[in-house]
Structure 1
Amino acid sequence: MTDFLIKSTASLFVLLAVYHLALEREKMHHFNRFYLLFAVVFSFTIPFITIEVIQEITNPVTSQNAIKMEAETIAIVEDSTNYWLMTIWSIYGLITSILLIRFIRNILKLSSRAKSNTKINYKNSKLVLLEEKTLPYTFLNNIFINETDYHSRKIEAELYTHELIHVTQRHTLDILFIETVKTLFWFNPIFIFYKKAIQLNHEFLADEKVVKSHNNVPFYQNLLISKANANPTYYLASNLNYSVTKKRLIMMTKTTSTATALLKKGILIPVLTALVFSLCTKVVAQETNKKQQTTSKKSESLFKNYYDKTTFKIKDENGKTVANKKYKDLTPKEKNIVPALLFDKNKPLTTKEIDKVLEKGGPETFIVDLYDKKNIKVKKEDSDAIYNTAGITEKPEYPGGIENFYKFIALNYKAPTEANLKGKIYITFIVEVDGSLNDFKILRDIGYGTGEEAVRVLKLCPKWTPGKVNGEAVRTMYSVPITIQSKI
């Protein structure tokens, strides 16, 4: 929603500025009418347009087989109830409802006036005769005038022509459109200026027709000035005395050449193009690693072939060689104690040095001794002993994996209501031999009951697959981080 408001307002502001600077003072009122309406529709549409621009970037490719990284998985728990947002929407709904009621009531009031008073057919419109003293004004195809002035013929022909243009060109529809938008987006003042621009352009159109039809500019100008201080009428109607300013009086005698009109209309092409590309463009990074990818594939291929010429001597519990195998024939347990690469651990290797090690390949023979003390995870004699994850053969696991565990946390955790509360909780617990969780300890929390709530959720957790040493379940210490992010 914020993105929509920012982009639409930016577009509305730029297009309105272009109108006032380049178009308003030129005598091309039909085009300007279309432009103002188009500007509103275009600005509401532009936030939904996305143009993806692919930008190629070059990143080095690292072989996953050469380097292994272990990343910490965390659950982000967001506050599910945003009271500030609810309050803002409630205020918006209340004010919008009041303005909509006012808007609809004025439409009904004008319609009721048209129905309850005498009507006379006049060309393509209806003259509605009112008892109250008023200047002529138009709503839809109705021209409201004073009954006494009509019968005594005090209404000048220029005024009839003026109001008839509002009817035939359906100016009321423009007013209803911009007023609806202004009602829904009452918090954005720019629509006030759009409505003023649209109404003034309507008067330019009507004035232009009067000048062409009656060909008496000084008389019409004096007539407008004499009527300028008359009583105001409804804001939904097209009014004769709307903004009788220097602009209208000057516009009656102004001319605009075809070349000037085309030039100023042409300005819109770069303006609209600039708006689209500045507000709708999304840069999408696409990695190109031609040289690096070639090197990576070469390294990967060398890694797969690293132990091709190596013979693995498998020893039994007595230290005797019982089998000779190739790497592909090793069991998962045997592969587990075979290092990815054999190189000098006392000094770091460069990429070129690693490539040389890969190209040279592994040794001719390699001893695999599953019963060597350094390769055996030994279960402690104490049945109640607690293991850490580094000292066991198989780590404990939540049903479905760690990602499902954090989904369970996120779904069941009730975040505190404090605004902008952010931080990380660390909790340890014991995974028992039957998979249940016990002995919860909060190592760090961020207050407001965040740690206690995490313990409550963990107690609801289904049983895990316990940790094991050589296939036998053991009690295992496990720790998890939980990130809290409460947004307002």
Structure 2
Amino acid sequence: MENLLTYILQVNLLLALIYFGYHFLLKGLTFYVLNRIYFIIASIYAFVYPFIDIKTWFTKSEVIDTAFLPEFITPVFLNNSASSGISLLDIIIAVFSTVAIVFVLKFLVQLFSLLRIHLNSKDATWHSYLFRNVLFPVVPFSFFNKIYIHKEQHREIELQDIFAHEIVHVRGHHTVDILLFEIILVFCWYNPFVWLMRNAVRQNLEFLTDQQVLNKGVDKQNYQYSLLHVTKQGAAVGISNQFNFKTLKKRIMMMNKKRSSKLELSKYAFLLPILLIAGASFTISKAEKNIEKIVKKSQNTTVLDESLKVKMEGEVGELLKNTIGTDIISLDTSNQEKEYPLLAPDFDRNELEGKNLHFEIDGKLVSLDEFLEFPRKEISAVDIYKDKEEIRKKIGKDNSEGLFVLTSKNKKPAQTQVDVKSLKSKSEIDKTKKFIYDYDGKIVSKSEFLAIADENLKQLTQMMSRSVMKGKYSSLVSNWEDYDGVIHAISAQGEEKLKEQREKALYILDGVEKGKGFDLSSIKADDIESISVLKDQSAIALYGDNGKDGVIIVTTKHNSSARIKERSNDEIGIFLKNDDDSNTNTRSPGIRLEGKNQ
């Protein structure tokens, strides 16, 4: 609901700015066609721009290494006291929706009136003009490609000017403009500038039509005199292009006005960057919204019992509820020296007793009492499994309803094995496997890769890892699961570019800032658990100006339990446990709750 209100505010702010731009810069110009284009494009842009991250147009995002990141699921914080009843926000939305429905009904009534007029008219011709002759008096108007006139109520000299005027509306498809701004008015009826813009659009269409009529050689004075004497009695439809009399004085003034000079076209060029900059400033990026939400929520949260309650949503929440009877997770905040708090479910003894459940601590099966009494501060991670076949493979128990695996901080978690092999030439590539070919960060076909000379390959690596493929290549290769691995190659130019990027980047080793230009070769390759990369706004948001050239986060195997916590946008992470490195590429039906080791 808050996102909807934010969107509405963003749209209406820009619509107001669009009207101000027209009123103060374009209103007095005689470039009516450009004014029409301005209204249409700018108004559509107002509704689309909140979905566009304009800031990325002016920033360049590059990947300087493979990022091994788990899937994060953002939990929803709950207040300590439950809220009920109707909020002020609900009332505002209800009022807005009710009035919008009224405008929709009004719009439908106008369409019905138009249908009534159409049914009470018949095809006719006057000189070379085709029109619909209405059987009762109406104000002359056009709708799409039809002109509606009650011929008997007009003199011949009036008909000439009426048809000359309305045929311009028809050929210019001015009905589209009218309907577009009627629809905008339905959704933004509360914005006074939308009403003003709607009137300005209709007025501009009349100016445009008068100008094109006079451009055909019609005598100006006779045309203006004729407008004054055309009878305006009869029915009228608000959503049509009427033979408008309300702005007649202004129309005559604009017809007599001197044409604007081409120098004044610069006003349109001036408005374009103004609207783009306004869109960029009004738009709140997703990263910024997440950070602001976390900061605001943390400031407003009062810790009463050394723990914070967190409600899990989606697949994880449902799995927790089915397994342990609750989707509420307890966030341990008792130790203020922790950089990251520990997540653990609120295990209810009553929910766990009486079921065929099994419990394991550091690889050893234990009783329910031992599992519940294990010190929370010593917990590194909790894995929950529900699939019976998976449990049977792990502990040899049949028909188990659930397996809870607790890992203490004293036990090093099992390491993810990544099959990485450095090659000297393309001839060493395993020909029995199907690979994705990555050359200087660009995906190429097998034939294109094999055509590259070996001397142009400064680095050549064969990686047989589902984690690597899923983490980096799943978004680049639609059928990545059909491949066995990745051949990663870097040219001399690519190696130099990568070296420059690494020298500028900020290095974080096991959560500790190592500054720029850190020598990564000082760490043994076998000791590296993962390398993650942050670029642009995400890096700056977390590390300030030090991260503007990118951040390289290195996690060693000695500190692997911290790998899901490396200063992510959300200070709390929960991920679906999966066996992406297995040959079968199956997903384990479990979840892991993990915190930062001390």
TM (norm. structure 2) is 0.43
Structure 2 residue aligned with 1:131 = 135
Assess if the C-alpha contact under 8 Å between 2:210 and 2:255 holds in 1.
yes
Please state if 1:155 is matched with 2:158. Answer: yes
Structure 1 residue aligned with 2:176 = 173
SS at match of 1:252: helix
Deviation at 1:21, TM superposition (A): 1.4
Assess if the C-alpha contact under 8 Å between 1:119 and 1:126 holds in 2.
yes
Q: Larger Cα Rg: Structure 1 or Structure 2? A: 1
Q: State how far apart, in whole Å, the 1-side matches of 2:309 and 2:43 are.
A: 47
Number of matched residues? Answer: 292
Q: Deviations over 1:301-340 (max 9, x none)?
A: xxxxxxxxxxxxxxxxxxxxxxxxxxxxxxxxxxxxxxxx
Structure 1 residue aligned with 2:46 = 43
Q: State how far apart, in whole Å, the 2-side matches of 1:222 and 1:185 are.
A: 38
Unaligned stretches of 5+ residues in structure 2: 60-76, 289-305, 313-320, 330-347, 352-368, 376-598
Q: State how far apart, in whole Å, the 2-side matches of 1:21 and 1:267 are.
A: 12
Q: State how far apart, in whole Å, the 2-side matches of 1:75 and 1:85 are.
A: 18
Structure 2 residue aligned with 1:223 = 226
Letter matched to residue 175 of structure 2: T
Which stretch of structure 1 is more off in the superposition, 133-142 or 174-183?
133-142
Match of 2:282 among 276, 279, 284: 279
Assess if the C-alpha contact under 8 Å between 2:29 and 2:260 holds in 1.
no
Match of 2:110 among 93, 103, 106: 106
Please state if 1:204 is matched with 2:111. Answer: no
Q: 1:119 to 1:5 in 2, by over 3 A?
A: same
Letter matched to residue 49 of structure 2: I
Counting only pairs closer than 5 Å after superposition, residues 390-405 of structure 1 correspond to structure 2 as none
Q: State how far apart, in whole Å, the 1-side matches of 2:153 and 2:231 are.
A: 17
Structure 2 residue aligned with 1:238 = 241
Counting only pairs closer than 5 Å after superposition, residues 59-458 of structure 1 correspond to structure 2 as 76=80, 79=83, 82-121=86-125, 126-149=130-153, 153=156, 155-227=158-230, 230=233, 233-280=236-283, 282=285
SS at match of 2:138: coil
Assess if the C-alpha contact under 8 Å between 1:96 and 1:186 holds in 2.
yes
Letter matched to residue 194 of structure 2: F
Please state if 1:3 is matched with 2:23. Answer: no
Q: State how far apart, in whole Å, the 2-side matches of 1:143 and 1:410 are.
A: 67
Letter matched to residue 275 of structure 1: A
Q: State how far apart, in whole Å, the 2-side matches of 1:185 and 1:116 are.
A: 34
Letter matched to residue 123 of structure 2: K
Q: State how far apart, in whole Å, the 1-side matches of 2:141 and 2:5 are.
A: 39
Structure 1 residue aligned with 2:372 = 465
Assess if the C-alpha contact under 8 Å between 1:33 and 1:201 holds in 2.
yes
Deviation at 1:178, TM superposition (A): 0.9
SS at match of 1:42: helix
Letter matched to residue 12 of structure 2: T
Structure 2 residue aligned with 1:386 = none
SS at match of 2:131: strand
Q: State how far apart, in whole Å, the 2-side matches of 1:172 and 1:124 are.
A: 22
CA RMSD of aligned residues (A): 4.0
Q: Deviations over 1:149-191 (max 9, x none)?
A: 46x6353412210011111111112111111121233222322
Q: Deviations over 1:265-295 (max 9, x none)?
A: 221233123213322365979xxxxxxxxxx
Assess if the C-alpha contact under 8 Å between 1:436 and 1:464 holds in 2.
no
Q: 1:273 to 1:464 in 2, by over 3 A?
A: same
SS at match of 1:155: helix
Q: 1:124 to 1:193 in 2, by over 3 A?
A: farther
Structure 2 residue aligned with 1:392 = none
Q: 1:130 to 1:256 in 2, by over 3 A?
A: same
Q: State how far apart, in whole Å, the 2-side matches of 1:242 and 1:410 are.
A: 69
Letter matched to residue 131 of structure 2: L
Q: State how far apart, in whole Å, the 2-side matches of 1:193 and 1:124 are.
A: 37
Q: State how far apart, in whole Å, the 2-side matches of 1:109 and 1:40 are.
A: 28
Letter matched to residue 19 of structure 1: Y
Q: Deviations over 1:360-403 (max 9, x none)?
A: xxxxxxxxxxxxxxxxxxxxxxxxxxxxxxxxxxxxxxxxx977
Q: State how far apart, in whole Å, the 2-side matches of 1:92 and 1:14 are.
A: 22
Assess if the C-alpha contact under 8 Å between 1:203 and 1:242 holds in 2.
no
Q: 1:83 to 1:109 in 2, by over 3 A?
A: same
Deviation at 1:103, TM superposition (A): 0.9
Q: State how far apart, in whole Å, the 2-side matches of 1:402 and 1:25 are.
A: 64
Structure 2 residue aligned with 1:311 = none
Q: State how far apart, in whole Å, the 1-side matches of 2:78 and 2:328 are.
A: 15
Q: 1:283 to 1:108 in 2, by over 3 A?
A: closer
Match of 2:37 among 34, 38, 43: 34
Unaligned stretches of 5+ residues in structure 1: 56-72, 286-400, 414-433, 438-461, 469-488
Q: 1:126 to 1:77 in 2, by over 3 A?
A: farther
SS at match of 1:267: helix
Q: State how far apart, in whole Å, the 2-side matches of 1:224 and 1:405 are.
A: 71
Q: Deviations over 1:437-475 (max 9, x none)?
A: 9xxxxxxxxxxxxxxxxxxxxxxxx9982478xxxxxxx
Assess if the C-alpha contact under 8 Å between 2:206 and 2:244 holds in 1.
no
TM (norm. structure 1) is 0.51
Q: State how far apart, in whole Å, the 2-side matches of 1:279 and 1:233 are.
A: 40
Structure of higher RCO (CA pairs closer than 8 Å, 6+ residues apart): 1
Q: State how far apart, in whole Å, the 2-side matches of 1:228 and 1:14 are.
A: 38
Deviation at 1:406, TM superposition (A): 6.7
SS at match of 2:132: strand
Deviation at 1:2, TM superposition (A): 2.1
Structure 2 residue aligned with 1:425 = none
Letter matched to residue 161 of structure 1: A
Deviation at 1:197, TM superposition (A): 0.9
Deviation at 1:30, TM superposition (A): 0.9
Q: 1:223 to 1:406 in 2, by over 3 A?
A: closer
Letter matched to residue 124 of structure 2: I
Letter matched to residue 157 of structure 1: Q
Assess if the C-alpha contact under 8 Å between 1:175 and 1:236 holds in 2.
yes
